[in-house]
Amino acid sequence: MAVISYREALRAAMREELKRDENVVIMGEEVAQFNGAYKVTEGLLKEFGPKRIVDTPISEAGFIGLGIGASMLGIRPVMELMFWSFSYVAFDQVVNNAGNIRYMSGGLINCPIVIRGPANGGTNVGATHSHTPEAILASHPGIKVVCPATPYDAKGLMKAAIRDNDPVYVMENTILYNDKAEVPDEDYIVPIGVADIKREGTDLTIVAHGRAVITSLKAAEILEKEHGVSVEVVDLRSIRPLDEETILASVRKTHRALLVEENKPFCGVDAQIAYLIQSRAFDELDAPIGRVSSIDAPQIYSKKLEDLQLPYPARVVEAALKVLA
């Protein structure tokens, strides 16, 4: 076990998989010579050479589509998007081609591609660079979406994604890249579709993913210290597939649920989860389900206001107290 950053954990996952399978290639803008826009792929070119670590032009529809085509023939491309926001210029490839081809071919073709990169607000870069498309993409059958919140999960989910035979979209978070934690040196995966209880509690269930998990854990601290409330934090880790049973088991234990995410409110991931809870655990609920999302506006540039636009611990505490009232 070593203490490494979320960034290093992602890199370790890619390095191990590059070594394990010669079909794995890393591709994207600035991933090779420049060592990665966010240094996630730093050193990989030196270690694996230009056949495996490939710089692309600024051409998301072109190179993501190329990766999808190559994956149809058994290459296992791990494509970096500098920001998931840029997937929007490649949306046809990401959804129509990667997401549909297995289905439309009646199962004759599969598409073992990984597309990864940061999908988060909170970095003071304005609306075009701050999208969080996990709900949009997870609404397409054929696509898998994971959102690691910790270094351990980042490595394990990335390795699982690379070995997966379906398209897996890994949504990272630039604000988490420097977070450090203990990560095993040995080979392990975090199976896709398994949620993780990041904190056990008895009075309230918070369901979150990505950085909202970290925010929720901070809020849970405050709720315990200042309000004597025991909060359970369920980290989804994977959006599609979704670990419904872990969510339901937690709600059946605490009887109250608060959903926290960095998406905008309309049709976020929480909409799906709220539906799940009311349909399968309605009688277990002692209060209406609460939620905290980003304030419903394009991402604001102003740093001070952006920090208020995203969920932050005090806002989560306030919403939790309402559900607990």
Partner 1 sequence: MAKNAVITHPESLKRPAGPSEYAKDPVNASLSKADKIALYTKMARVRHFEQRCIRTYQQGKIGGFLHLYVGQEAVAAGTISLLGKFDHIITGYRDHAHGLLVGMSMKECMAELTGKVTGCSKGKGGSMHYFAPDKNYWGGHGIVGGQAPLGTGLAYAVKYRGQKGSCLTYMGDGAINQGAVHEAYNLAALWDLPIIFVIENNGYSMGTSQERSTAHPGCLAKRAEGYNMAWDVVNGHDVYEVRAKTAIALKRAHEESKPTILEIFTYRYFGHSMSDPDKTYRDKEEVKGYRETKDPVFLFEKALLDEGVLTKELVESINAAAMEEADAAAVFADESPEPTLADITKHIYWEEDNRGPKTTSSGTIIFE
Q: Give residues in contact with partner 1 (CB under 8 A).
A: 25, 51, 56-57, 59, 61-75, 92-93, 96-97, 101-110, 112, 141-142, 144, 160, 163-166, 189, 191-195, 238, 240-244, 272
Q: Which entry of 129, 134, 232, 262 is annotated as an active-site residue?
A: 129
Shorter beta-carbon distance to partner 1: residue 181 or 276: 276
Q: Is 131 a catalytic residue?
A: no
User: Which two tokens mark 110?
Assistant: 């599969």
Shorter beta-carbon distance to partner 1: residue 67 or 290: 67
- Residue labelled with tokens 């490839």: 93
Q: What is the smallest separation between the CB atom of 37 and partner 1, expressed in angstroms?
A: 19
Shorter beta-carbon distance to partner 1: residue 194 or 295: 194
User: Which two tokens mark 38?
Assistant: 């966010």
3-state secondary structure 114-134: EEEEECCCCCCCCHHHCCCCH
Q: What is the smallest separation between the CB atom of 274 and partner 1, expressed in angstroms?
A: 13
Cis peptide before 57 (omega within 30 of 0): no
Angle between helices 244-254 and 269-280 (to 10 degrees): 60
Q: What is the smallest separation between the CB atom of 210 and partner 1, expressed in angstroms?
A: 17
Q: What is the smallest separation between the CB atom of 151 and partner 1, expressed in angstroms?
A: 20
Angle between helices 313-324 and 211-227 (to 10 degrees): 60
Nearest to 146 by CA among 157, 135, 131, 156: 157
Q: What is the smallest separation between the CB atom of 166 and partner 1, expressed in angstroms?
A: 5
* Environment class of 180 (CB within 10 Å of its CB; exposed 0-12, middle 13-18, buried 19+): middle
Angle between helices 151-163 and 6-20 (to 10 degrees): 30
DSSP assignment of 262-318: SS-STT-HHHHHHHHHHHHSGGG-SSPPEEE---SSSPPS-HHHHHHHS--HHHHHH
Q: Which entry of 8, 29, 60, 262 is annotated as an active-site residue?
A: 60
Q: Is 172 a catalytic residue?
A: no
Shorter beta-carbon distance to partner 1: residue 188 or 312: 188
Question: How far apart, in Å, are the Cα atoms of 274 and each of 34, 207, 215, 247, 269?
Answer: 43, 10, 20, 10, 9
Shorter beta-carbon distance to partner 1: residue 178 or 278: 278
Shorter beta-carbon distance to partner 1: residue 126 or 241: 241
Q: What is the smallest separation between the CB atom of 49 and partner 1, expressed in angstroms?
A: 13
- Residue labelled with tokens 């200042």: 226
Show which residues are catalytic. 60, 129
